[in-house]
Structure 1
Amino acid sequence: MTIAELPTLTVPSTRKLDGLPVVVIGAGPVGLAAAAQLLERGIDVLVLEAGETAGASVRAWGHTKLFSPWEYLVDEAAGRLLDKAGWQAPAAKTLPFGRELVEEYLVPLAAAPELASRIQYDSTVTDVTRQGMDRTRSIGRSSTPFLLRIRRGGRVALQLARAVIDASGTYGTPNGLTAGGISPTDPDSVRNNILPALPDVLGADRARFAGKHTLVVGAGHSAANTLLKLSVLALEASGTTVTWTIRGADPVRVFGSENDELEARGQLGNSTHDLVRQGRISLLDSFEIDDLRPAAGDRVVVDGRRRGEAVSIEVDQVVNATGFRPNLDMLREIRLSLDEIVEAPRALAPLIDPNLHGCGTVHPHGVAELAHPEPNFFLAGMKSYGRAPTFLLLTGYEQVRSIADELAGNHGAARQVRLVLPETGVCSTANAAESASACCN
């Protein structure tokens, strides 16, 4: 990689932003919804996707069934764009797998004539800044274009933008396994024993789990999905055992409520609860992991504390279902206002902080809560939630609808935010942060 590979970018001397696109980072559900909303308002847009296709992160857990039906998964502007192309919408009440969300919705959306030419794949954004300005310079900042550095294979490209919507998600940056949120002391020595959230237990990853002892860490819906599949495998492959560990004293968020307005989400919790009661899953609550270290036979020892007593567990592998955190490295030169606890936009954080909210309620929010000191820069979708759980796609769709109205100059509409989400039926303030691995659909 050499400097000679970088193109020379020029901006008219007036420093006007006219003629530059809004850049959306990420071609997942929320990123493509943002693009559809912007196009509907006549705003030029460019989508940069790190993967080779739309919905690349969703494909990674495509074997997992969503607990939201199709009626909650399609953005309105995206639906209108698809309708023009003759798209046949799936049955509203059916529950898709992640791969179906990609193939039946995101891929057709990305291929829509109005959008297809505006998406660049294999384009990883490594840095976002203002052209010629680091975060300390203020004079003329709002009228200076954004500058994005993009890695494509072994080459680097630059892109100017009038505004940036970062909808790149959090799937690639899981939380740490230890209770303190940090990596094991010697991460390389246990790397092969740790799997990410939502492995394909009954499919591609079956051999890793069959006849083995697996420890699942986390108290959200991602953990529950994995536990249910491991319990099925245990009936099919002798010697397969499952231990589930959580930091809190009660996995109430996972077990859910019969009043959950998303039936599949409620069933997920009830099924997990049944497996614990039947003894098919060993639940180790109030367990705080301190470290992981290698053991004989390619196994791993998990050291921790339970109610003040030292506890060590030897297993074959560990599934990290502790949730995710935003990758903020590429935004070091952007003026962000983030909450110190959940790393969400400061005005949004009190509405979603699991330490403050034990219920599944999410207050309506849009551009006013998503704004940063950096004009025309927005975090949207999962990344806007920082480390907070229970994000639903409907939330992200309303976020980008509001942002699109703001960028179109319709400031009143941008602040008329309406969001009606299915209630979980669960209300508990005890150890609410433990649910940070909740699945996001």
Structure 2
Amino acid sequence: MNATTETLPVVVIGAGPIGLAAAARLIERDIEPLVLEAGPAAASAVRDWSHVRLFSTWSEVVDPEAEKLLAPTGWVKPDGATYPSGGDWAELYLQPLADVLGDRVRYNATVTGVSRTGRDRIVDADRESQPFVVHLTSPEGREERIFARAVIDASGTWSTPSPAGGSGLHALGEKSAADRITYRVPDLKDPAVRTRYAGKRTAVIGSGASAFTALAYLADLAKAEDGTGTHATWILRRGISGSTFGGGTADQLPARGALGLAAKAAVDGGYADAVTGFRTDAIEKTGDGRLVLVGEDGRRLDPVDEVIVLTGFRPDLTFLDELRLGLDERLQAPVELAPLIDPNQHSCGTVYPHGAGELSHPEEDVYLVGMKSYGRAPTFLAMTGYEQVRSVAAALAGDREAAERVELTLPETGVCGGAGLFDQPEAAEEAGGGCCAAPATLTIGAPTSSGGC
């Protein structure tokens, strides 16, 4: 890197919790950040799920260095033992942090491309000495470019939810049925949204915390609207085992464990039926506009009025196409990080300490952090991202010792049976003792003829 390049800012993509924490950590290191946020305010993605309560407490979702920046403003940290909603997180912490950063945060700036100045991804000559060039557009379509000494992509995965199709592609008919499908947990406190689901039959596709939340919300709606026919059909691509509902009381994050217990209660209470081993192949419309889900095995489910698809998220890598990224072919996470988070290999929620080293790419001084660093892997926690950007900022400052000194202990989920084993019940048995012994099967909801654990 030449002297001219060193005077440029580090561009941080995304003014969410991890992007803003990255800016705070860079300032700590006397490195000037420039945060580019596509939305009109900080934490635009978090605001989209403002009605959902986090399963982490305030003590776990405030970055220590960001707290130092906020302290002189008179900011008072909320009770560390309480659980914020997404709206609380955005309004009481993230927006105040962005306000402190001031002009270092630019809103309505959508990044459309990142490259090395004068070098496409093919060119080797003098590549590493060239600054990065970042192209962005405003809502009005005005184009601009910014030069940077390094790029930290903390844009997350919220904008690219995974589809309903079991193959990873949209199911046939999924796009044409878009008016009856949502890829977010609905806010049933909103009167218009409540009307959409009250008295209706809704299919919920997914097996993670978001699906648990949606099932619990729909069960509460059914109780409040007793006798209206409000009911959920829970669609799982795998079978049901002792790990299906998460860690429960064994989860070191109690609120996360409670989500699974709430989903189980929804099924046990008759507010939802479970259909297992079902991979959606097509979504067909009936004559009255209802939807029929068709499985890859030919099964056709009873018609539903609405579908909530909560099958995870995936990273948008299109604007990074001119950079030389080293990504795992399955998870689309950095190759050094992927083995540490791969649900095919780690089935008990263990995340090993990691930082700038595991987040590095063949293209120097480019880092994917936060949820985006996990690619398609689930169960990312804010505290993971905060530790990531602490290490990355140290690396960019040339403090190798601090960058490598990564210490992170995450609460375990108490969950066994990684997603990669969902078609192989015998694999769990062969694993033997320890945390991953074969789970006991729970017989609930609708029966299935398919195997799986």
Q: Which residue of 1 aligns with 2:230?
A: 240
Q: Which residue of 2 aligns with 1:132?
A: 118
Q: Which amino acid aligns with 1:56?
A: S
Matched-pair contact (CA < 8 Å) for 1:189–1:293 = no
Q: Which amino acid aligns with 2:384?
A: T
1:332-411 matched pairs, under 5 angstroms? 332-411=321-400
Q: Which residue of 1 aligns with 2:307?
A: 318
Work out whether 1:254 is the aligned partner of 2:250.
no
**Which of 263, 266, 280 lines up with 1:289 in the alignment?**
280
Instruction: Note the alpha carbon deviations across 1:250-298, whole angstroms, 9 max, x for none.
Output: 2624342321111111111112112212222101111111111222222
Specify every segment of 5 or more residues in structure 2 that has no aligned partner in the other structure, as ranges: 424-453
Work out whether 1:143 is the aligned partner of 2:122.
no
Instruction: Note the alpha carbon deviations across 1:313-334, whole angstroms, 9 max, x for none.
Output: 4211110100000001101101
Distance 1:276 1:173 in 2: 29
Distance 2:308 2:421 in 1: 21
Distance 2:256 2:181 in 1: 26
Q: Which residue of 2 aligns with 1:176?
A: 163
Structure 1 moving runs of 4+ over 6 Å: none
Matched-pair contact (CA < 8 Å) for 1:21–1:46 = yes
Q: Which residue of 2 aligns with 1:268?
A: 259
Distance 1:300 1:175 in 2: 19
1:309 Cα deviation from its structure 2 partner: 5.4
Distance 1:96 1:24 in 2: 25
Quote the sequence identity (%).
47
1:197 Cα deviation from its structure 2 partner: 2.1
Distance 1:49 1:353 in 2: 29
SS in structure 2 at match of 1:311: coil
Q: Which amino acid aligns with 1:246?
A: L
Specify every segment of 5 or more residues in structure 1 that has no aligned partner in the other structure, as ranges: 1-11, 435-441
Q: 1:138 to 1:430 in 2, by over 3 A?
A: closer
1:12-161 matched pairs, under 5 angstroms? 16-112=4-100, 115-153=101-139, 154-161=141-148
Matched-pair contact (CA < 8 Å) for 2:33–2:104 = yes
Q: Which amino acid aligns with 1:64?
A: V
1:66 Cα deviation from its structure 2 partner: 0.6
1:432 Cα deviation from its structure 2 partner: 5.8
Q: Which residue of 2 aligns with 1:8?
A: none
Q: Which residue of 2 aligns with 1:278?
A: 269
Q: Which amino acid aligns with 2:77?
A: A
Distance 2:264 2:317 in 1: 36
How many matched pairs? 418
TM-score by length of 1: 0.92
Work out whether 1:165 is the aligned partner of 2:165.
no
Q: Which residue of 2 aligns with 1:423?
A: 412
Q: Which residue of 1 aligns with 2:426?
A: none
> Alpha carbon RMSD of aligned pairs, Å?
1.6
Task: Single out whichever of 255-264 and 173-182 deviates more from structure 2.
Answer: 255-264
Instruction: Note the alpha carbon deviations across 1:31-77, whole angstroms, 9 max, x for none.
Output: 00000000011001100000000000000000001110001000111
TM-score by length of 2: 0.89
Matched-pair contact (CA < 8 Å) for 2:331–2:376 = yes
Distance 2:309 2:361 in 1: 31
Task: Single out whichever of 268-277 and 163-172 deviates more from structure 2.
Answer: 268-277
